[in-house]
Every structure is written in structure tokens, then in C-alpha cells.
Structure 1
Amino acid sequence: MKLKSLLLGAGLALGSLNASALNIVLTNDDGWSTPGIQAMYQVLTEAGHTVVLSGPLDGQSGSAAGFNIGGLEITKQAENQYSVAVAGGETGAEPATSGIVGMQILTEMTGGQAPDLLISGINDGANVGGATTFSGTVGAAIASISYLNGQSVPAIAISADEHCDEELPLEESTCIEVAEFTLSYLNHLLERPAYVNGDDALIPNLRALNINYPAGTPMGVMTARQGLQPLLGGRAIGLEWGCSTSCAELEVGETAEGGILGTIDFSDFEDIDEADSVYFSQGYITVVPIRGSYDGGAQGLKNYLNTYDY
């Protein structure tokens, strides 16, 4: 666990231009034109990084690390900015797909250099605790560190509550503040001795970072573990899906409507130690190292499973 006081605001990005310039792919799950990703693009490019923005044509929240298998339509919307849609061009591609496409574009643009980093975000809304697994923002970061594209690229997922409202123009939001923090934290990673000495990756051991920035002025930064308590829209709630009428009584061939029926209160949920959901609720920026492996450990369970006689 680590607590670090930060001076937030105009002075946050001082020294940014002294950091090593990186080749960065930028994606998200809200859509290529939304304030969060545009704020991140602006701050990274002003700091001297080479950035290719490759995001879904429109919002694809809740898509986790899903990929598109069929054809795509990639449109150059602005200099070094691309939207990615499924064939037909009416629906955005998955964030993971968009990020991988961005890697190919950046590699071609730089004459064969692999990306140094993928940043996914800034997402409009936190991705902490039990809701993290379903996030397209985090899913794009997980896809980046996997070898599905033939390489593992370090990644950062960055999300924020109430700073990058999609309904507000960028200049009327506080989204730049979150982008400047992300740049500051990236500079901190670039100063890690093992990375500076060439002994380790920017983010080691095939990990990514899931960073969440709270509403208001943060209390500080906490390095945390992914909690279990679901937080949605700043509330400790889960969602109940199901049939609006009794599906158990349907005749074969009958259809019933359904969807989200309501919410489930998790306000009294006791989370694990050092949970990001707890720290985030207390007003801290949270940083969680994550990985894409589904290996659950559980050696005791494995030992018993190995006794199955086939």
C-alpha cells in the first residue's frame, strides 16, 4: 500500500517535456471523439509523445476484452486520429479491437517500431471493484498485454468520475486535470530505476495498470488491489437482470421481454483489504496492477482436482 500526496492543478505537468518520448496508442470505450480521449491526446502530444488515437466509432461500454472477428471500417477523422467501426460503418468496433488496430497503424507510421504503451481512456465513469471485469476501457488494456496480436504492449486504463462528462465540451470540463495526472504518473514510471537501466519493461511481468480518478479534488494516490464490491455511478450497487414476466412459465416458442429489473444494494459489503473500491469511495486516486491471465491459483483446489480418476 502506498500513499502519495499530490499537488494537483496547473503545476502538475511540470517536467513532462523532460520525459522520454514514447510511441503511444490511445483508445477507449466511449468513442473516439469524446472529451476523455481527446483530453488525453492533447496532453500526451503536447508533452512530445507520438500518439495514434484509434477508438470505436461510438460508445462500446461494458464490452470487456471482446474482439470483432468480421470486417472493419477504419476512418481517419483527424491527423493521427482514427475511428474504427464494424463492416457497414454504423456501429463502433470493440475497444480491444480498436486498440489493436491502432498498434498496426502506429507501427506502420513509425517504420516498424512497436508501440511502447497503450493508454485506454479517459473513461467517463470509474471502473473499480467488481465492475472492473466488464469494462471495455480495462478490456482494451488487457488485450494489449496479451499475445493475441503477436506482442505484449504495456498498458494503462484510466477512468474518472464526474470530470469527463460526454455531454460537456472539453474546455468546460475538468478532464484535462485527469489527463495531466496520467501524464505525471507516466513520467513516474519512466523514472523507475529498473526501466531506466534497461533491466525491465515499463510495466513489468505482463501487467497493466487500472487507474481511477475520483470526483472532486483527490485525497492522494493509493496503490491497491481490485476490490469485490461493485461500484456503478459512484454507488455501491449491483444490477439485477431477468425477465419482466415469468420466463419459467413460457410455452415453447413464446418470447418475453426482459432487461435490467433493478439494483442490488452493496453499501454494507465488507471488501478485501486494500480494495480499490474502498479507497476510491474515500476520495483517493487508485492504482491497481492487473493481468490478463485467468489462472486462479488455488493450489489446494488443484490438488483435489488432480485426484479425479479417469
Structure 2
Amino acid sequence: MHTLLKSAIGLAALSLSLQASALNILLTNDDGCRAPGIDAVYQALVAAGHQVTLVGPQNDSSGIGAASVVNPGQALAVTQLAQGKYCVGAPTGYTPPAGKNSAIGTPVDAVNVGLDLLLKDNRPDLVVSGTNFGDNVGPLTQMSGTVNAAVRAMFKGVPAVAVSTGIDLHLISQDPQAGYLKTLNAMDDTARFAAKVIERAAAIGAEARRVCDTSGGKAKAQCATNVLGLPGTTGLNINYPALEAGQVTGVAFAPIGDWGNVAFAPQQGADGVIRVNLVPPPTPTDEQMQADAYQLSLGNAVITVIDGNMTASPLLQAQAKLILGDLTP
């Protein structure tokens, strides 16, 4: 059995008796620094005993993906809402350069400000992003500001957890207000579930560090384990359904798939205007049914392991070298 897997099994056996210490957490999102979702998670993490610094975008940045400031010298406005709570946005009067799209005060900008400035001398153990209004599963993860804020943190060497609360798409299309309230009402349960996940994972991570320290650094698998009990800076993407706690089916562990209930497609109307519209998703295949979006549609809370490293496995790197190795510039 793989050494890391054996270590994980051994640590999991101890998890019920472990208690993790309080973590230093940077909390962000993409719905905005004042959004109800980030407040729900803030309250849940503080109630669990963690030290939390909130650094979110000034405005709603949903669907903005990994966009961030790329112009050297670009000013950012960082305002303090309260002790330990900050908003990151564009300076007053900012207008984009002529002929250029630009994003100022994005979720990635908030993570950068949090890690490189506000918490530079008190580096967090973990970054948490969310909870988002709407699920981030399947193809939505690529465009998600929530998920990409977590990915940015992992690129910068800090493990991260993205958290999202699902939408009842049928209800919100029929009755927007009722659909909005259904997701809103599930945010506290989402936040508590996320805090529970972090507590359990952090207990495993703490035990791994103890084993590493006891071994004098010789227990390589444990020494490579992060605060979530996972390798390196690996993190989690958590999606919770828009249901009352008693209606949630269970917890599913599923990969990100290429199918989702929410599907966008550009379409040209009779007036000649091209619009991006919601379109019915195709019938999922058996493989797609095992992935995150379908499992969420069954009423499960879904946990997916994610990694900020976009590089493929060493095996695939070697395969590419065999295919392309004789090329010259």
C-alpha cells in the first residue's frame, strides 16, 4: 500500500479523538465583503475558535474567475469595515484604460492583499473562500471567483477551502424571491458544515505534524502533510445543497466533472444579437453521475479535493516528452 495512503488511514482512525488547535484563517469570497455568505462563514469559524481576518472584494465579482490587477502601479482601495475586516476595490473615480477591459478589486486581488500585505507578518494557516451564493461544481469551477481565490492561495503556498451554497434552479426561475431565500436560508448550515470539515481535517493535520516532529523529520509523508491533513498545499472545494439540514442526503466525495445543471451557451437571436443564455444540460453519462455536479443535484453535500498546481502528473509529462522530445525551435 502507498505510504501516504497508509498514513492517511492511520490518522483517520484517530480522528474522532483528536482536537485541532485554533487556526489563523484568511477569509475571502467573490460575492463581496458585505455579502451574507461570507458573514455566515465568519461567524461559524469564529464560533469554532479560529482567528479570522476577512478580506473580500468591495463589489460582487461573481464569475470573474482568476482575474486580477495586471497593470504595474495600479492603485487599490483597501477600506476597513471593522476590526479584522477589509474590503478591496478600485480607487474612487477609477475608469478602465480606453479600449481595454480590466478587473480591479477581484477575489484574487483580495487574496493577494491579504497574504502579501495585511497578514504578511502573521501568515495564515488556511484560506477559506465563501460561502458563495450558488454552487461551484463542474464547468462553473473554471469561471468561479470563489474557487479561483482558493486556487490563488494554493499557488502562493497556503492550503485553501472554497465553500459554496447551491441554488434551486427550478424554483429560482419560477419564483426568484423564493429561490433567493432558499439559498440564503441554507448558508448558515453551509457555514457550519464547512467549519466541521475544517475542524476534522485540521485535527488530522495537527496529528501529522506531531508525528513529523516526534520523528525528527523522518516521517516524510506526515512532514509533507498540510494543516488539512492533505499533501502540500492541496485544498478542498465544498458545495452544500440549498436544502434544510434534515433534507441533505449525505456527504459525497466526487471529482470535478464536465457536466452541470447550469449550462451557458452563446446564441444568436432573431434580432441578430448574440446573447449568452442558460440552456438545458444534456443527460449525464454514468461517469458524469459520479462527479460533483450530479452528486450535488441528488441532495448531497459534496467535497472535492483541488490543487493549485495546474501541471499534469510526472507520468504525463514524460509521455509528452516522448511524443515531442525531438522537436527543435
Q: Secondary structure at the match of 1:191?
A: helix
Match among 59, 72, 75 for residue 71 of structure 1: 75
Cα distance in structure 1, aligned partners of 2:180 and 2:76: 27
Query: Following TM superposition, by how much is the alpha carbon of 1:115 offset from its aligned partner in structure 2, in angstroms?
Result: 0.6
Moved over 4 A (4+): 89-92, 165-170, 242-246
Whether the aligned pair in 2 keeps the contact of 1:116 and 1:154 (CA below 8 Å) is yes
Q: What is the TM-score when the length of structure 2 is the normalising length?
A: 0.73
In structure 1, the residue matched to 2:59 is 58
In structure 2, the residue matched to 1:241 is 266
Aligned AA for 1:128? V
In structure 2, the residue matched to 1:9 is none
In structure 1, the residue matched to 2:220 is none
1:122-148 deviations in whole A, cap 9, x for unaligned?
00111111221111000000000113x
Q: Secondary structure at the match of 1:280?
A: helix
- Relative to its length, the structure with more strand (as a share) is 1
Query: Following TM superposition, by how much is the alpha carbon of 1:201 offset from its aligned partner in structure 2, in angstroms?
Result: 1.3
1:29-59 deviations in whole A, cap 9, x for unaligned?
0001111100111111222211111111111
Whether the aligned pair in 2 keeps the contact of 1:25 and 1:51 (CA below 8 Å) is yes
Match among 108, 115, 136 for residue 145 of structure 2: 136
1:215 aligns with 2:224: no
1:103 aligns with 2:115: yes
Cα distance in structure 2, aligned partners of 1:60 and 1:183: 24
Q: Secondary structure at the match of 1:283?
A: coil
- Relative to its length, the structure with more helix (as a share) is 2
Whether the aligned pair in 1 keeps the contact of 2:152 and 2:308 (CA below 8 Å) is yes
Cα distance in structure 2, aligned partners of 1:97 and 1:166: 30
Match among 206, 228, 231 for residue 233 of structure 2: 206
Aligned AA for 1:160? T
Q: 1:258 to 1:195 in 2, by over 3 A?
A: farther
In structure 2, the residue matched to 1:85 is 89
Q: Secondary structure at the match of 2:109?
A: helix
Q: 1:272 to 1:304 in 2, by over 3 A?
A: farther
Q: Secondary structure at the match of 2:78?
A: strand
Query: Following TM superposition, by how much is the alpha carbon of 1:304 offset from its aligned partner in structure 2, in angstroms?
Result: 1.4
Q: 1:160 to 1:169 in 2, by over 3 A?
A: closer
Whether the aligned pair in 2 keeps the contact of 1:228 and 1:271 (CA below 8 Å) is no
Cα distance in structure 2, aligned partners of 1:169 and 1:307: 58
Whether the aligned pair in 1 keeps the contact of 2:135 and 2:167 (CA below 8 Å) is no
* Percent of paired sites with the same residue: 31
Q: 1:290 to 1:76 in 2, by over 3 A?
A: same
Cα distance in structure 2, aligned partners of 1:167 and 1:280: 18
What is the count of residue pairs matched by the alignment? 272
Whether the aligned pair in 2 keeps the contact of 1:107 and 1:114 (CA below 8 Å) is yes
Query: Structure 1: which 5+ residue stretches go unaligned?
Result: 1-14, 233-237, 247-255
Equivalence map 1:116-265=2 (5 Å): 116-147=125-156, 152-162=157-167, 173-192=185-204, 193-198=207-212, 199=223, 200-203=225-228, 204-216=231-243, 217-232=247-262, 238-241=263-266, 257-261=273-277, 263=279, 265=281
Query: Following TM superposition, by how much is the alpha carbon of 1:209 offset from its aligned partner in structure 2, in angstroms?
Result: 0.7
Q: Secondary structure at the match of 2:119?
A: helix
Q: What is the TM-score when the length of structure 1 is the normalising length?
A: 0.77
Alpha-carbon RMSD? 3.0
